[in-house]
Amino acid sequence: MTTPNGGGWYNSGPGPSYSNSNNSNGYGPNPYPPTAPIALGRPQQSSSTPTRLQPPPPPPTNRYSNFEITIPVNRWPAGHSNSNTPNTPSTPSSSMDPPLTLISMAEGYFEAAHASGYKAALAKGGGDAKAYYKLVATGLRALEAALQCRLQPRLEAMVRLRYAGILHEETENGDEAEDALNKGIMLAQRGNFTDIKYTMQHLLARIMLRTTPKASLKMLNSCIADSETLDMVHWTYSFRFLRCNILMEDSPLHDEQGAITTLQKISSTAAARHDHGIYLLASLMETMISVSSGADGIEPASRALARANSLQLESMQGMEQLGILRQMLDIMCSLMVGRYSESEVKVKVLHGMLDHSSKAQIWTPNGEFRILINPVRPGRPEERLKFKWLTKEDIFVLGYFISGLCKFQKNVEEVGRGEKYLQEGLRSIERLLKEDHASTTSLVGAMNKSTWRQTLKCHVMLYHTFLLCVRTDWDGAIKGFNNLQQAFSVLPPQRSFLPTLITYLQAVISHGTNQLDQALELYKLVYTTVQSPDSEISIISKLNSIIILRPRDPRAAEHLMAAVEKPCTSTKNYLMKAAYMAVKATERGELVKTKNYLSLALQLATQTTNQQLTFILLSFMCHRFFSGVVSEQAEKSARAALQNATRGRDSLWSLMGGEMFADCLARKGNEYEAMRQRDLNEEPRNAVVANLTRHMLPDEHASRGVGLHEVV
């Protein structure tokens, strides 16, 4: 038993993230913790000196895999646009009005800065980062100067919005951004610029979340009510998506049920108005929140997914990204309850969707796509909400990762196909981390995207190492673990489930390489530090501890066994049930109960295609029921245990099966075949002894030796 959940991959947290900037990227245990807005160094300002930005600290938790909603906002008027701004600011024509010149200059500086966002993120405080900060500070100073001029009310409101958005994204000047927005909101109200006012309120709610979260939520509820009164349904959707995001933040306002209720209101409105894209997105986000609860959340997740599946493919034209997300979530629901055969069928559908989408022109460099909203009344123009998710390259990496998880139980049987998927995903991530600098983005967006990719890289390496453990390639597992630690060390500090999984992997490797005391300490560290004592990672750590403790401390083993009984019998994850039944069957007890537990464990292992657990159970059955017995059934049992362990490429259990089969042949008088089998057993024996003595000193190894009884 080497992994708690073959489908338990990282959390790309449920809920959207929001940004007013078109150049930012959001991110979001597993499939999920949204985080607070990223705070950067506060610029020092005065009326006579330019704005100075300090290098930002590492972001707490990236949010790139969440949806980022770009609010519908009126940009600069067509006559005042700077659509052909070069990557470096240029001197504007002297015939232009000074305010428009300053605005054009500011946009040029911002675009030049964002064009070097990835480069500055890699520099981590070097000359490129300083140049980035200088460009942003100069652009902010140009907007400040423009606001000192007499502007048209609408243009002034938009300049204040842009100014506050840059302050929010690039600096820690929250108070100054709030002040600019409050003045802009008053101006928009006087001029009846409703869209601009709502955009400012949307941004203000996100800024207030840093300092006064309850006030932010209260203001947001008021905005929802106002937009409903004015029948501006696209703003109602936007504010409710933002409310869901706030409720999923890791803050005192965290309320998953409240977030689900908000999404259900969105779904209800979208269903009544036939806004299929919004209905689909809200249902998928509800699925993501439910899935984050583990196997116990699969039932509500399945209901939300069923609503998403009720939409016909024709309703998803132009929203192929949501179709891919829907398929991925469907696969994850199957994996999290141990239905690997079902997930293999679904992953083939995902491969077809990805192959088709790679040829279609649906991808943008920054992962944006738009969802159509039907007009409120006939004759009125259609509205569109713009969302930002993963890029095409990131989607394909996730496809490799999910494909590897689907092949987790059949990796050895299919000659390492699961490992090959994960290796290809790892190569793709490394290539993206080194080469993806084409799209323009802010420094914060580049850091978030890089952190998300590095986190995904760690998860791919983690499960690849688990696969090596399953087939007892302990040398490869140790090397993989060391590489994983190195990859994890470059991540910024963040609240994540990943360190717990890494600790569990270390415990498994210690267990498999005969460092039992260290393995016990690590297992205990896992199940005593997780938030829920009934979580899957906690249960599987306790089950592995029981196996070590039985010959050492039977009372402690019994205590742990009693602790896991209730959650294991009630879980919806068949893999967990199978592991529990296997451990329960191997304890001393009545023969009838042992047979029943073994029968249930074998049935569940077969149902979940868990080959490793199958040959372990077959070996135990042969030892428990046919030790010293001379019969045809005993020979068949020993042969079955040997053949299954050999197919599983497990040297330890191949040796166990081979020894039992040789003993069976000898008892029947077939000495020649018994000797031949014992000769075949030498190869796995040498591998097992070398592995179990790898941490012993040469003198200790020579004095103790390792016999077959110690291997057992």
Residue 267 CA to chain centroid, in angstroms?
A: 24
**pLDDT surpassing 60 at residue 155:** yes
**pLDDT surpassing 50 at residue 78:** no
Q: SS3 for 11?
A: strand
pLDDT score recorded for residue 710: 38
pLDDT-wise least confident of 449-463, 518-532, 649-663, 684-698: 684-698
**pLDDT surpassing 90 at residue 533:** no
Count of CB atoms situated within 10 Å of the CB of 629: 13
Widest distance between CA atoms in the chain: 107
Q: How far apart are CA 466 and CA 694, in angstroms?
A: 20
pLDDT score recorded for residue 9: 29
pLDDT score recorded for residue 438: 61
pTM (predicted TM-score): 0.83
Q: How far apart are CA 412 and CA 653, in angstroms?
A: 15
**Are 236 and 247 spatial neighbours (Cβ–Cβ below 8 Å)?**
no
Of 434, 412, 407, which Cα lies nearest the Cα of 351?
407
pLDDT score recorded for residue 193: 93
Q: Which two tokens stand for residue 134?
A: 């200088």
Dump pLDDT digits (tens) for 695-704: 876 655 555 5
**Are 688 and 655 spatial neighbours (Cβ–Cβ below 8 Å)?**
yes
**pLDDT surpassing 70 at residue 82:** no
Domain spans in the chain, listed from the N-terminal domain onward: 255-375+383-389, 610-695
pLDDT score recorded for residue 697: 62
Mean pLDDT of 59-79: 39
pLDDT score recorded for residue 383: 87
pLDDT score recorded for residue 495: 79
Please report, in angstroms and rounded to a whole number, the separation of the first and last CA atoms in the chain.
16
Dump pLDDT digits (tens) for 297-312: 899 999 999 999 887 6
pLDDT-wise least confident of 6-20, 99-113, 588-602: 6-20
pLDDT score recorded for residue 27: 31
pLDDT score recorded for residue 379: 80
Long-range contact set of residues 11-14: C-beta below 8 Å, sequence gap at least 24 = 11/292, 11/496, 11/497, 12/65, 12/66, 12/288, 13/63, 13/65, 13/66, 13/248, 13/288, 13/292, 14/66, 14/248, 14/259, 14/285, 14/288, 14/289, 14/291, 14/292
pLDDT score recorded for residue 177: 93
Of 663, 587, 573, 654, which Cα lies nearest the Cα of 616?
654
Mean pLDDT of 687-708: 68
**Which one of 56-70, 308-322, 570-584 scores highest in mean pLDDT?**
570-584
**pLDDT surpassing 60 at residue 606:** yes
Transcribe 153-214 into DSSP letters: HHHHHHHHHHHHHHHHHH-S-HHHHHHHHHHHHHHHHHHT-HHHHHHHHHHHHHHHHHH-HH
Please give the C-alpha separations between residue 148 and each of 75, 79, 103, 170, 203, in angstroms, as whole numbers. Answer: 20, 21, 12, 22, 23
**pLDDT surpassing 80 at residue 224:** yes
Q: How far apart are CA 220 and CA 352, in angstroms?
A: 41
Q: Which two tokens stand for residue 103?
A: 């605005």
**Are 654 and 686 spatial neighbours (Cβ–Cβ below 8 Å)?**
no
68-70 vs 383-388, strand pairing mode: antiparallel
pLDDT band at 97, cuts 50/70/90? confident
Of 146, 213, 145, 156, which Cα lies nearest the Cα of 185?
156
Dump pLDDT digits (tens) for 180-215: 999 999 999 999 999 999 999 999 999 999 888 899
Please give the C-alpha separations between residue 359 and each of 116, 324, 352, 367, in angstroms, as whole numbers. Answer: 29, 14, 11, 16
Q: Which two tokens stand for residue 606?
A: 């077969």
pLDDT-wise least confident of 92-106, 150-164, 268-282, 466-480: 92-106
Mean pLDDT of 440-457: 90
**pLDDT surpassing 80 at residue 50:** no
pLDDT score recorded for residue 90: 46
In degrees and rounded to multiples of 5, residue 394 shows phi and psi of -70, -40
What are the residues whose beta carbons fall under 8 Å from the beta carbon of 61, sequence distance 6 or more? 27, 33, 35, 494, 495, 496
Mean pLDDT of 580-596: 89
pLDDT score recorded for residue 665: 92
Of 544, 597, 607, which Cα lies nearest the Cα of 575?
607
Print burial letters for 310-329: b (CB count within 10 Å at least 16), e (below 16).
ebeeeebeebbbbbbbbbbb
Q: How far apart are CA 494 and CA 10, in angstroms?
A: 13
Share the mean pLDDT of the chain. 83
pLDDT score recorded for residue 436: 62
**pLDDT surpassing 90 at residue 295:** no
Q: How far apart are CA 160 and CA 99, in angstroms?
A: 13
Dump pLDDT digits (tens) for 634-677: 999 999 999 999 998 899 999 999 999 999 999 988 999 999 99
**pLDDT surpassing 70 at residue 472:** yes
Query: Above pLDDT 90, what percent of the chain?
Result: 58
What are the residues whose beta carbons fall under 8 Å from the beta carbon of 570, sequence distance 6 or more? none
**pLDDT surpassing 90 at residue 103:** yes
The CA angle 315-317-320, to the nearest 5 degrees, is 110
Of 168, 190, 194, 164, which Cα lies nearest the Cα of 179?
164
Count of CB atoms situated within 10 Å of the CB of 288: 26
**Are 381 and 72 spatial neighbours (Cβ–Cβ below 8 Å)?**
no
Q: How far apart are CA 55 and CA 69, in angstroms?
A: 27
What are the residues whose beta carbons fall under 8 Å from the beta carbon of 183, sequence distance 6 or more? 160
Report the 3 state secondary structure along 662-696: HHHHHHCCCHHHHHHHHHHHHHHHHHHHHHHCCCC
Q: Which two tokens stand for residue 23?
A: 């150049």
Mean pLDDT of 557-572: 93
Q: How far apart are CA 501 and CA 573, in angstroms?
A: 18
Q: How far apart are CA 183 and CA 175, in angstroms?
A: 12
pLDDT score recorded for residue 12: 33
Dump pLDDT digits (tens) for 320-374: 889 999 999 999 999 998 899 899 999 999 999 998 887 777 788 888 888 999 9
CA atoms within 13 A on the CB side of 564: 26
Residue 98 CA to chain centroid, in angstroms?
A: 48
Sign of CA dihedral 614, 615, 618, 619: negative
